[in-house]
Amino acid sequence: MNTMRETSAIDGQPFYPGDDAPGAAAPDGIVGESPALRRVLRLVETVATTDAAILIRGETGTGKELIAGLIHRLSARRGAPFVKFNCTAIPAGLLDSELFGHERGAFTGAIARRIGRFELAHNGTLLLDEIGDLPLELQPKLLRVLEAQEFERIGSTQTMRSDVRVIAATNRPLEELVEAGEFRADLFYRLNVFPIDLPPLRERAEDIPLLVRHFVMHHARKLGRRIDSIPADVMEMLLRHPWPGNVRELQHVLQRAVILSHGGSLQLPPLEAPVKMTRTPAPHAETFDDAVREHIVEVLRQTNGVVAGPRGAAVRLGLKRTTLLSRMQKLGITPADVVPAPLWFPVAPSTRSIAV
């Protein structure tokens, strides 16, 4: 019986232990039979059919996105979009537009209407990853959507309705952020209706052999390699490693191992000494003006500093020449920002110019 289960994992199919399988619609990659994983899957099966807000908590690499995807696939919303959004992936000044959208002309560079993530996820599920890094000033707007299911695009007075199930994920203790004044308590309680804690790999070590076989076969097929055996000493090393990067770290190590292996036997690369996993600092929080300034400068560089004309920056940005010049002055954009002197031909700063 155990052999059949392991073979299922090796073949790259979703693996669920015994009678606790929540369904065939689960995504590949959730592999294991440990009590810790069984508990998580039971919680997923219980909450998936409801519309309750879910907060998935776990260390980096524990599979928070996979669990969120499984919840969506087991829900009544499975035929609608599953939209993923990482709150640290873009500058803070553009988060409002990314989440809620904007109208044409709402700000510099808004040359067309943009549909935000909440509209894209209508009738479906929206995963907000790294929710602990959402700027404080944007949290009231998110709270309003969660409570009233309504919002406005930037530059619009029209109230939009959005029926979305929100799943938040974090590797930070939100309770501590609330105490530090970095996260709203009311938003925390609204998101934390049904928390799911994902165990780190060190707390489900009995799943490592299944995960090893699963990832080795996956990467061997992908790379066109033949791996017939996993030596006992290799498996022992994998079982002893603490895996601070969890399943993601294990997968990357096994990918390298498959690449390095010859003769059909898995050869393990030297395992790096455990590194204490600390949270990666969020990018420097930009203001909205910072983000707009950066965008204008980039467009001006693409046009070699030309503002007017059919190929000028004003046309690309959908602005009048005078409007763009006014905003450049307001944002302190100078010729030195746009047209730096060539490294091979020194030019005095006073000779640089922007063609208007």
The reported pLDDT for the residue numbered 89 is: 82
Match 């746009």 to its residue by tokens: 338
- What whole-number distance in Å separates Cα of residue 136 and Cα of residue 153? 19
pLDDT of residue 164: 95
**pTM check: above 0.85:** no
Report residues of the chain scoring pLDDT below 70.
1-29, 105, 110, 273-292, 316-318, 339-356
Determine the pLDDT at residue 145.
92
Question: What pLDDT, on the 0 to 100 scale, is given for residue 135?
Answer: 93
Q: What is the pLDDT of residue 70?
A: 95
| Same fold: 35-197 with 203-260 | no
For the domain spanning 35-197, the CATH number is 3.40.50.300
pLDDT tens digits, one per residue of 309-355: 877 877 766 577 888 888 888 888 887 777 543 333 333 343 444 55
Angle, helix 232-240 to helix 246-260, in steps of 10 degrees: 150
pLDDT for residue 281: 43
- The DSSP result for 86-125, as a single string, is ETTSS-GGGHHHHHH-B-TTSSTT--S-B--HHHHTTTSE
Residue (of 260, 211, 198) closest to 238 by Cα position: 211
Bridge partner residues of 233 (DSSP):
none
With vertex at residue 266, the alpha carbon angle to CA 263 and CA 267, rounded to the nearest 5 degrees, is 95
Beta bridge partners of 42: none
Domain spans of the chain, in order of start = 35-197, 203-260, 288-344
Q: Tell me what pLDDT residue 97 has.
A: 85
Looking at 1.10.8.60, 3.40.50.1240, 3.55.40.10, 3.40.50.300, the CATH number of the domain 203-260 comes to: 1.10.8.60
Tell me the pLDDT tens digit for each residue of 134-189.
999 999 999 999 999 888 888 888 888 889 999 999 999 999 999 999 999 999 99
The phi, psi pair for 128, rounded to 5°, reads: -105, 100
The reported pLDDT for the residue numbered 219 is: 94
